[in-house]
Amino acid sequence: TSFGTNASRKVIATLESAGHDAVFVGGAVRDHFLDRIATDFDIATSASPIDIKRLFTVTVDIGIEHGTILVVLNGERIEVTTYRAGKTKLDNSQTHGTVFVNSLREDLQHRDFTINALALNLNGELIDLFEGVSDLQKRLIKTVGNPNERFKEDALRMLRAMRFSSVLGFDIDGATYMAIMQNANKLREVSVERIKIEMDKLWTGIESQRAIQSVSDSGLADYLPLFPRGVGSLMTCAPFNSTTEGWACLMLTGGFASSEIAKAYKLSNSEKAFLSDVERAFQSRCVRLYEIEDYYRFSLDVLIIAEKVFSILYPDEKHVSEKEIKKALLNMKIRSKEDLKVTGTDLINWRNERGGQWVGESLAKIESAVLHGKLANDMDDIKEWFLNDNKREE
Ligand code: ATP
Ligand code: MG
């Protein structure tokens, strides 16, 4: 079988027929040698962005200033990038002054790590100018060229080294690691949006525990927003099942509020909502074991994460297993208001009265009674209970 998807191969063939050079590059080529399943088949080409757009019917400018065009072919999305030299060496701010270059060699030279600087052409020939395959075999993350210079050019690469070590389980080359220690403070100049993308990948890597240790040992942690000084508890929380679990554990082990983490790392609204739930579940868990109200309010993930961190921070306290949490959830009479066998309309009809504030209040009472097993979730039972209850109150 040949490398790439039909559509991505077609993109390269089309570029070549028009007289341009084009190759597969980056993550997909690396992952191919690691027998990892690649999803994004990125292409680098000598063609200019304008040429690329002319050659394909459906294209999207996703970073024309960086020379990247998204080509949509047979429903596939393929990123095609003009050979480039990356950011200018003058500054390390958010301005990405891209310099386009003529050769693949120059493009590869400006990529971050040797394992990411491999290219593969349509004939399956490998272009390995920086001993990338050798480093893949040694399982090493090593910069292309002088690590000090490369990190000065773009400080995010230091964090990328950590995230690749987490995702691939590779070691960081000695000189590369030393340069991270020396340049750690430059991470301050990197935008939080770029940091967030790498942290999300770091959290969910197979070796996140070791990567967190290295982030701390290398001094990078000192320049990450809201990172706990001691990462012992955070490491014990790893591995993480999701990116949000990583953020939640950072929050709880660091003693930060969900709003602080959300702001510092510009989390999305759904991430923010999840963290806020974990925060509240944890607060209630610090007071007592979970009760019916907690099982009712929070999702399984939220309860498990809050319990996990609680047991790590307070190992001597009694704690509940994942199995017990699941069992408690299964035993719940209802999981939400929607599960109630009656609605506000039923109450209005039974009482034959106009709707008003009383409907919500009565529903809340029914909800609580059902939740606590004082009333069966059954239309007739609820009706009787409701009508008698009303009589009692009158
Ligand atoms: P993943 O499988 O996680 O997407 P990837 O290697 O494809 O890994 P990307 O962040 O998608 O990583 O970047 C694609 C490629 O672009 C990299 O393999 C690397 O060659 C190059 N690259 C990305 N970011 C940088 C950077 N900051 N400096 C230099 N080269 C970079
Ligand atoms: Mg990629």
User: Which residue is closest in CA terms to ligand 1's atom 9?
Assistant: 27
User: Which residue is closest in CA terms to ligand 1's atom 30?
Assistant: 111
ipTM, 2 dp: 0.99
Q: Which residues have CB under 6 Å of ligand 1?
A: 26-27, 42, 86, 111-112, 116-117, 154, 156-157, 201
* Closest ligand 1 atom to 163 CA: 3
Please state, in angstroms and as integers, the Cα–Cα distance from residue 244 to each residue in 3, 199, 247, following that order.
Answer: 33, 11, 5
Strands 126-127 and 171-172: unpaired
- The alpha carbon of 59 and the centre of ligand 1 are apart by a number of angstroms equal to 21
In order of start, what are the domains of the chain with their CATH numbers? Answer: 1-137 (3.30.460.10), 139-224 (1.10.110.30), 228-332 (1.20.58), 339-393 (1.10.246.80)
- The alpha carbon of 22 and the centre of ligand 2 are apart by a number of angstroms equal to 17
Q: How far apart are CA 214 and CA 156, in angstroms?
A: 15
Which of 43, 106, 111 to mutate for ligand 1's pocket (most ligand atoms within 8 Å of CB)?
A: 111
Please state, in angstroms and as integers, the Cα–Cα distance from residue 78 to each residue in 9, 50, 58, 207, following that order.
Answer: 10, 16, 11, 29
Residue 353: DSSP 8-state: -
Which residues are placed with Cβ below 5 angstroms of ligand 2, an ion?
Answer: 27, 40
* pLDDT tens-digit series, residues 105-125: 999 999 999 999 999 999 999
User: pTM of the full predicted structure?
Assistant: 0.91
Mean pLDDT along residues 309-337: 96
User: Which residue is closest in CA terms to ligand 1's atom 27?
Assistant: 157
Q: How far apart are CA 86 and CA 100, in angstroms?
A: 8
Which pLDDT does position 228 carry in this prediction? 86
| Other CB atoms within 10 A of residue 145 CB | 14
* pLDDT tens-digit series, residues 131-162: 999 999 999 999 999 999 999 999 999 999 99
